[in-house]
Amino acid sequence: MAIQDPEMPSPRYHNVIFVETETDGSGAVHHVTGDITSGMVYATRPEGPPEESEIFVSKEFIGTVESATYPEKIHAVLKELPPPPKQKKFNIKTMRTEQMKADGSFYELGEERPRMVKCTEWTLEQAIPALYASVVHMASLVIFNPKTHTLFSSFLHIGSRDTLVFCTLVLDNLNARHLSTSISILNSEYHNTPTVTMSTPPGETDLSTLLSAMTFTLDPATFVYLTTSTPLPTLLPALQPKLIFQETEGTTVVTTLDLATSNGYEHTFACRMITLEIHSSLEAVGFMAAISAKLTEKGVSANVVSAYFHDHLFVPVGKEEVAMEVLRDLTRGGTK
């Protein structure tokens, strides 16, 4: 049985790095094991398909690594990272297990104490940035759901315009020793948790139906674009991005104006987001072209993001009502 440590923030999950190596979804786990009363050590073990585990919570694809160098290069990187040390011990004076200093002494009442580090902090703050810097090819596009506030638990990786990959990477030539091996983060907890599955309805493809039946909503927030080299484990909780795109020059992020400003990021293109609520197919032809043409006639620029279920328009602040009226006209007139 696992008991929540009152000195650590809740909820807590055991976050590990999972490398999928086989066509059946199995592979290996890389993590630190142990506890903060004795210290932790780096370890690895074979692992079956994570979704079959009773303690599985979620899995998120983070990138790929060359099979020819696996596991040697990953071992070399992770073994060099200091694992969480012993941070608590029994205090005979208070008859309690308490946080201790590096020299083994205890903190005085009211003395400032550093944050304790466990497996999750090691995985997200040390291991993943180190792997990105050396052996892992980062996922190119992810969409983050900020409502969960749970790092690496609920965003999607989109491999291409017509392929959705949920929580892992599906490779075209996957075999026992494929050229690229997918790497994921697993969140697990110490009690039974139902596995969440995702249905994949095809979406609407008929252009006339898409235009006449669509509804749309204007998000109340103001969004901005920015670029940064900040590692994802640090970036996600700070900016709670609506969109991330990994480019050669840096990571493009769409987040709210408030979050960008409060975290000290320079930004551009203040915009409003309009979501087209109709579920358009990723293979639909002409839908966004028809909308873009009408917006152009009204002098409204728009950055379009096509996610799995819906399309989203990012239009300049001050142009949102013009864009909304264009959409209303399209629903009244169909393709005319």
Residue 42 counted as domain residue: yes
Residue 1 counted as domain residue: no
Same-domain pairing of 212 and 311: yes
Residue 234 counted as domain residue: yes
Confidence of residue 96 (pLDDT cuts 50, 70, 90): confident
Same-domain pairing of 131 and 217: no
Kindly report, residue by residue over 40-90, the tens digit of the pLDDT. 999 999 988 888 877 777 777 777 777 778 889 899 999 999 999 999 999
Mean pLDDT of the region 327-334: 79
Residue 68 or residue 278, greater confidence? 68
Residue 300 counted as domain residue: yes
**What is the reported pLDDT for 134?**
79
Q: Is pLDDT of 329 > 70?
A: yes
Judge whether 44 and 28 are in contact, CB under 8 Å. Answer: yes
Domain end, chosen from 134, 158, 188, is at: 188
Judge whether 29 and 186 are in contact, CB under 8 Å. Answer: yes
Same-domain pairing of 109 and 180: yes
- Buried/exposed code over 53-73 (b: 16+ C-beta within 10 A; e: otherwise): eebbbbbbbbbbbebeebbeb
Same-domain pairing of 282 and 152: no
Residue 125 counted as domain residue: yes
Q: Which CATH number is 252's domain given?
A: 3.30.2130.10
Range of the domain at 130: 14-188
Q: Is pLDDT of 199 > 90?
A: no
Mean pLDDT of the region 317-331: 92
Q: How large a percentage of the chain has pLDDT more than 90?
A: 29
CA 161 – CA 307 distance, rounded (Å): 9
**What is the reported pLDDT for 7?**
59
Mean pLDDT of the region 319-336: 82
For 221, 268, 312, the CA distances from 271, given in Å and listed in that order, are 9, 9, 12
Judge whether 278 and 287 are in contact, CB under 8 Å. Answer: no
Instruction: Please give the helix or strand (H or E) that residue 324 lies within, else none.
Output: helix 320-333
**What is the reported pLDDT for 6?**
55
Closest CA to 212 of 287, 308, 319: 287
Domain end, chosen from 188, 215, 230, is at: 188
Mean pLDDT of the region 133-147: 51
Domain end, chosen from 188, 216, 238, is at: 188
Give the highest mean pLDDT range of 47-56, 90-99, 143-152, 274-283: 90-99
Kindly report, residue by residue over 174-195, the tens digit of the pLDDT. 232 233 455 555 555 433 333 3
**What is the reported pLDDT for 308?**
75
Same-domain pairing of 167 and 303: no
Among 117-126, 179-188, 211-220, 267-276, the range scoring the smallest mean pLDDT is 179-188
Residue 162 or residue 16, greater confidence? 16
Whether the predicted model's global pTM rises above the 0.75 cut: no
